[in-house]
Amino acid sequence: MTEDTVSRVAAVPTPPSAPNASPPPRRAARIVAAPARSPDAARVERERLLARFMGSQGRAMISRAADECRRAGVEFPHEQAVQLQLLEHVDEGLARGAIAVLAQILAAEAPKKRPVLEQRLRRLEDTSDEEATRTAAAELRRALRG
């Protein structure tokens, strides 16, 4: 072998399938944590739940939507429309809370849906199981008329 042939043999690259070629490095497995709920995601979820609650009709549907909001930790805004919707909840404690909030709101501004408000208060006054609910509904109805 001459020097020239030795340099040509050394210059020939070895194919990747050659036994002395090292395998490509393996990637390490990573555990990826789910991203924490961003404030924007929480706000979007709150708005979605409140929209579902406000779009509900009938006592059963309103109660289910309100309970879902409460389980998610959503606080109901002190707005007439929201509190008016809460008057339809089957839980009289929640309805009494809505009556108290409505009394505060109506002391500062006129009722927006007066006939609906009076009808719901009359229903609570006539059909509620708890005396405290009947009394609170009657007092707010009298305040509306006065």
Indicate the DSSP class of residue 90: S
Per-residue pLDDT of the chain (146 residues; tens, 9 = 90+): 555 555 555 555 555 555 566 767 777 767 766 666 567 888 999 999 999 999 999 999 999 999 999 999 999 999 999 999 999 999 999 999 999 999 999 999 999 999 999 999 999 999 999 999 999 999 999 998 87
Model pTM above 0.85: no
- Look at residue 112 and tell me if it is in a domain: yes
Question: Which of 118, 119, 111, 123 is CA-nearest to residue 81?
Answer: 111
CB 92 within 8 Å of CB 82: no
- Look at residue 9 and tell me if it is in a domain: no
- Look at residue 21 and tell me if it is in a domain: no
Total domains in the chain come to: 1
- Give the range of the structural domain holding residue 106, as residue numbers without chain letter: 41-145
- Look at residue 23 and tell me if it is in a domain: no
- Look at residue 29 and tell me if it is in a domain: no
